[in-house]
Amino acid sequence: MIADLVIALVFIGYAISVLMGFGTILTWVERKQAAVMSDRIGANRAYIRLPFTQVKLVWWGLFHGMADGLKMLLKEDFKPRTYDWYAYAVAPWVVFTPVLLVFAVIPFGGTLTPAKLWAPLAGFFGERSWPMQIATLDAGLLIVFAFSGLTIIGAMLAGWSSSNKFSLLGALRAGSQMISYELVLALTILGLILIYGTVDLDVMVRRQSGTVLGFLPAWGIVYQPFAASLFLAAAIAENKRIPFDLPEAESELIAGYFTEYSAMKMGLFMFAEFIEIAIIGALFTTLFLGGYNLPYMSDAGFALPGGAAVALPHGAVVVTQLATFLLKVFLVCSFQILIRWTLPRFRYDQVLTFAWKFMFPLALANLVVTAVVVWAVRA
Amino acid sequence: MSRKPFVRKQYWNEPEMGLWERAYLPEILRGLLITGGVFLRNMGKWITGRKGALTTYYPEETRWDYAAGNRGKHVLTRRPDGSPQCIACNMCATVCPAKVIEIEAGFDPADAAHPKYPVKFEIDYSRCVFCGLCVEACPEDAIRMAKEVPHLPSGDRWAMWLGREELLAWQPQSDVAKPYPPAPAGRRAPGESA
């Protein structure tokens, strides 16, 4: 029981530090990648001077994120005179918390057996092993959608309680857009659920560690390439980033539903957006890119297509899986940033048309085709 | 109230989209390939220790390709004897739209032709707009602008003032010095003592 608690605390600490780390580092990656993509240098002036020396650490502008965070903490926390200040104060947290909670069901590694990592740990943990996932739930994907749906409430709450027309209009835009794309998001994943026959994310990852046709890794993107692109597009729209950042419109709606927020409350909205990039990356990795496993890899080691197998010690497997997961998530995040700095944004009616008249039918068609093929293969 | 139905204006140069552009996805992929290619190319340069950007790191680097007529840092010209050609008439300070020139005039009884001379001639580069009106206004060709920029980045605005000595001593390579015209007959050459 105590061992369970310790493991759970370790996993929670890991997950929170990973998400916070991604949120912080992505603000820097976004700037630098955008700069490199457009032949610029990017932010590189903030530095930390070592005390009592003239040594200035610049580190390619990494400290700009710290400077921004400090700025947001130290700014005046302006409060509008609103009739519902409680909702106003709680809204950023309603946006921020579910984003973190989604990560609870995402497996970020295979199975962890502390006794095999380091022999003296056996005295405390015994020979038990734990899946590297905060909450091992059968209903994994359903939890993901349940929590990610909560952010809509936060956005609506923020817009409503600000007593500002622009905020309210921005919140309406955000709400209708997020609800539309949530539907598409769920429909694109239904095909995967049909193929894997489960909504448990850990089982889904394990099913992806085999091969198709003898050599291709059995990743979701190989089975469902079309659904993968739809999923990514819908997820970016759900996150309200360019090309779908319609709740924000400087000339008409100012900053949309967080117009009236300043200082760290606004920072929370921004931070939630950046963490959600990482969450989308983690979901995409888990569903379509084989999760924490390298190609041909499982908890036992590598099983190469030629029939050769390489067994790995438990510690090496755990480290490889953790690193692989982080790397894949980072690459997907980077791809999202590439999209954000490449595509021009839609008009608002085009966003909803795109969701309902283009992506929704395509997702349905994908689902029907998948269902027929799965039925034909199983029969 | 009757209202005319909205008719979208057709422009003569309206772009026409073919089937390929209408399909939308291929064009998106093409765009992503272009930006991704630029990213990889520049990143490759950065990783191999070369510069992958067109930007100039300003205080550390300056551009070499300033135009020949670029209005940059000011030069105070001198007479052949080395005294400043400026007669402290204050025309440049008057015409200056940013009011950055400060001149304090002095009296030199030894030089009958140019009794007024600048004791102080200061330019505040933190406010200068580099319009060149001072050069236009000068009746004596005493102030010119060289193509090099002042290059005074600083966290302290008082470090951005240049005084008489700096402006006189600065010898820009690009300044094509016009020879001082010879004195008309019957007049003393400047600098020649009585």
* A235-287 confidence digits (pLDDT tens): 998 888 888 888 887 888 888 888 888 888 888 888 888 999 999 999 999 99
b/e map A317-337, b = 16+ CB within 10 Å = bbebbbebbbebbbebbbebb
Token couple for A187: 């429909």
Give the structural domain span for A204.
Answer: 76-378
| Domain membership flag for residue A173 | yes
Distance, in Å, from the CA atom of A107 to the CA atom of A11, rounded to the nearest integer, reads: 10
The answer to whether residue A220 is domain-embedded is yes
Spatial neighbors of A343 by CB under 8 A, at least 6 apart, are A242, A243, B28, B31
Q: Give the span between the Cα atoms of B37 and A168, in whole angstroms.
A: 40
Residue A361 confidence (pLDDT): 93
Per-residue pLDDT, B194:
47
**Interchain proximity A338–B32, CB inside 8 Å:** yes
- Do B142 and B79 touch, CB atoms closer than 8 A? no
Residue type, A12: I
**A11 lies in a domain?**
no
State mean pLDDT over B61-90. Answer: 84
Distance from CA of B42 to the nearest CA of A (A): 6
Look at the block and give the residue holding tokens 């105070």: B76
Q: What are A181-224's pLDDT values in tens digits?
A: 988 998 998 888 888 888 888 888 888 887 777 777 888 888 88
User: Cβ separation of A33 and B39 shorter than 8 Å?
Assistant: yes
Query: Chain A within 8 Å of B54 (Cβ-Cβ)?
Result: yes
Report the residue from B35, B36, B55 with minimal CB separation from A40.
B55
Q: Which amino acid type is present at position A88?
A: Y
Answer whether B36 sits within 8 Å of A41, measured CB to CB: no
All domains of chain B in start order, with CATH? 18-55 (no CATH), 74-169 (3.30.70.3270)
Secondary structure E strands in chain B: 74-76, 101-107, 116-124, 143-145, 161-162
What's this model's pTM, rounded to 2 decimal places? 0.81
The number of domains in chain A is 1
With a threshold of 0.90, tell me whether the complex ipTM lies above it. no
**Dihedral of the alpha carbons of A235, A237, A238, A240, in degrees to the nearest 10:** 130
pLDDT digits (tens, 9 = 90+) for A156-184: 998 888 888 888 898 999 899 998 998 89
Residue A344 belongs to some domain of the structure: yes
Does residue A7 lie within any of the structural domains?
no
- Do the domain assignments include residue A195? yes
A41 CB neighbours in chain B (<8 A) are: 53, 55, 57
Report long-range pairs for A295-298 (Cβ below 8 Å, ≥24 apart). A295/A217, A295/A219, A296/A209, A296/A211, A296/A217, A297/A209, A297/A321, A297/A324, A298/A110, A298/A206, A298/A209
B54: nearest CA partner in chain A: A39
Task: Indicate whether A226 belongs to any domain.
Answer: yes
B33 contact A CB<8A: no
Which residues in chain B are contacts of A37 at CB distance < 8 A? 35, 38-39, 42
Q: Which of B84, B58, B65, B73 is nearest to B123 (CA)?
A: B73
Least CB–CB distance from A36: residue in B31, B34, B39: B39
Give one DSSP letter per residue of A202-260, joined into a string: HHHHHHTTSEETTTEE--HHHH-HHHHHHHHHHHHHHTT-TTS-TT-BHHHHBTGGGTT
Q: Are B43 and A36 in contact (CB under 8 A)?
A: yes
Distance from CA of A105 to the nearest CA of B (A): 32
- A39–B46: do the CB atoms touch at under 8 Å? no
Residues of chain A in contact with residue B53, where contact means CB-CB under 8 angstroms, are 35-36, 39-41
Q: Which two tokens stand for residue A285?
A: 């990795």
Structure tokens at A373: 């093929």
Residue A30 counted as domain residue: no
Which residue among A41, A338, A341 sits closest to B55, beta carbon to beta carbon? A41
As a whole number of angstroms, the distance between CA A144 and CA A164 comes to: 32
Contact list, B38 vs chain A (CB under 8 Å)? 37-39
> Residues A52-109: pLDDT tens digits?
888 888 888 888 888 888 888 898 888 888 778 888 889 999 999 988 888 888 998 8
**Cβ pair A325, A285 in contact under 8 A:** yes
